[in-house]
Every structure is written in C-alpha cells, then in structure tokens.
Structure 1
C-alpha cells in the first residue's frame, strides 16, 4: 500500500512537472510571437509604404502627383507586396510637351490609371531576383503588370532594361528602394501599355 501511495505521488509529481513544462513552452512561444509582431510593426512604422517613399523623394514629385490624380494612393499604400518601376521626374519630362498636364486632368483619369498600373507588378522582386530571372530565361523575362499588359525585362551593360508593349525601352537607374509593402526601381523613361 505504501508503495502504491509512493508511486501515485511520483506519477502526480511527474504529471505536474510535464504540465508546467508544457505551459512554460506555450508561454515562450507566445512571447516569441509577440516579439516578432512588435518587430514587424516597428519595421513597418520605420519604413514608409511605396507612396510614402515616393512622396519623400524629390525625384518622384511628378509620379506622386500622377498617383494622386489617378486615385491610386490607397491602392499603392495597401498591403501588397508590389514592385514599382517608378519613372523619375526626368522620365516624365521626356514625354511630348503637354502630355503630363493632359494626363493629370480629371477627364484623363482612366488613361493615367492604365499607364501608372502598367508600371506596377504584384509581388516583391528585388534587383537580384530580377537579374536571376533574366539570366535563367535566356536573357529575357516577361512580367505581367497590374494593368494586365506585360513588360519584357533584359540586361544591357549590366543594367536592367524594360521593353514596353510598343517596343520603347527604359533603364533601371536606381534599384531596390525599400518600402514596407514592396520595392521601387527608378526608371529613366515612362513605359507605355498598348
């Protein structure tokens, strides 16, 4: 009888010990998840989204005005991730005189939206991944844009080149500008859908 009581006491102790160990493990997992969530929130708070990054860069003032006129601020501020091939002010300046002003008018909103979303790809593709995709696919890689058209990516003299639906080309002049919801690659020419 004494042995049975001793065994019962040992079994109860072992059960409590295991239960406490499992509870401790659960608490550690919950703490790790909480720390990860806080770290992600801090990174997101520190790094602005695509619109915030563009708005904070003097090279993208025309692009930001166009995004606002097209009503795409909320979309490009969304969760994403997005890869934006962002024309610089100089890229917009290459368009025929009066084009930008015309596109910014309310009656041109649909055309402007089509052009801007042609510069956006769903997913986050940093320069290294783009270059690898180009090299893996015999020197050319086609991406589908949010607008629905496609852009061919290739390499020339070590630079990533974009060829639009009309055959015009643009060069990535600044790669991997980080944003909380994706990445921006600055380009030197506005690309156009069909």
Structure 2
C-alpha cells in the first residue's frame, strides 16, 4: 500500500518498499495493538477508512499519539452540534457521512498529525518541546500536555513491533 499525503508531498508506505525501513520486530504492530484495545475502536475505524492501516502495520518505526474513543465522540459531537455516542461516530466514519464539513482528506490529515516518525518512548517525548508529525506540522509538548491543552498523555509506552503508542485524551487539531 502506498499513500501520498496532500500538498506536503509526504509518503507513507507499508510493507517492504521503504528503503529506510528496518526489518520488522516480532510481535503485534501498532494496528494490531490498537485493534485489540477497546479504547481505540473509533481510531481503528478512522485509520481503516483513511486507508492508513497498511502503513501503520508496516516496517517503519512510528510513534502514535492515540486518541481514545471518548476523544472522538467529543470532537464529532462538537462538529455535529449534537450529543453523539460511540456508535454514531463509528457509523459516520464508516459511511463517510462526516459532521461539520469534515472530509476524508481532513481525517487523513488529522490522523497523520498524531503520528511521529521513529520509536519514541515517553522518556524521549516528554523532554521535547516540539515533535514533527507525518502531516508536516509539529505537535507542541509540555510534559504530558500536548498543543496547549488540546490533549494530555494519559497512558504511555504501548510497545509494538513497529513503534510505540501513547494514549491521549483529546483529538489534536493541526
């Protein structure tokens, strides 16, 4: 799978086609871990809808700041100006009927804003003030707080064969 990301000219590749990719380590991938964790049902649905699941299952080492389902419900409720639940958000993502003028391209951009190149444990994230993301923008870091309070890191170091997941309690806006 190959996915070109908008005007930023970034390329996400899954599988063996990446020159800089390291051989996969044993164990579950980022997508496997997220799929097996009931806090990330909406995130996984969004990743699949955006066709990023292959890239997040590939060999490239990545760090994902993973918003919980509650985070997506809050965002989608604000966009829809309605009180939505998890099933409503899953239906919106799977049907492509996104609230507030949100498009699939927006979803891709938002998801890539949650992914940082390289394997970064909490120990290497927390002391940094800015982290580059795969959408070309940077995430601001101030201890466990991201982007001036858009989200906080509430769980760290879910280690995958192709990177690390940190759990966050909000959806970051690029």
Pair in the same fold by TM > 0.5: yes
Once residues 71 and 63 of structure 2 are traced to their aligned partners in structure 1, the CA distance between those partners, rounded to angstroms, is 18
How far off its partner does 1:130 sit? 1.5
SS in 2 for 1:112: helix
Given the alignment, which residue of 180, 185, 189 partners 2:166? 185
Task: Tell me if structure 2 keeps the 8 A contact 1:103–1:111.
Answer: no
2:102 maps to 1:118: no
How far off its partner does 1:189 sit? 0.4
Q: TM-score, normalised by structure 1?
A: 0.65
Given the alignment, which residue of 133, 137, 140 partners 1:145? 133
**5 Å matches for 1:56-95?**
56-95=36-75
SS in 2 for 1:52: helix
1:53-110 Cα shifts (integer Å, max 9, x gaps): 0000011000000000000011111112000000011111211426545555178221
Once residues 149 and 134 of structure 2 are traced to their aligned partners in structure 1, the CA distance between those partners, rounded to angstroms, is 19
**5 Å matches for 1:1-194?**
44=26, 47-97=27-77, 100=89, 102=92, 104=94, 105=96, 108-131=103-126, 133-134=127-128, 141-155=129-143, 160-163=144-147, 167-193=148-174
Segments of 5+ residues of structure 1 without an aligned counterpart are: 1-39, 135-140
* Cα gap change, 1:56 to 1:169, in 2 (>3 Å): same
Q: Which has the higher helix share?
A: 1
Higher-RCO chain (CA-CA 8 Å, sequence separation at least 6): 2
Could you list the structure 1 runs, at least 4 aligned residues long, displaced by more than 3 angstroms after superposition: 98-104
Larger Rg: 1
* Superposition RMSD in Å: 2.1
* Cα gap change, 1:189 to 1:92, in 2 (>3 Å): same
Task: Tell me if structure 1 keeps the 8 A contact 2:157–2:165.
Answer: yes
Aligned residues: 137
Q: TM-score, normalised by structure 2?
A: 0.72
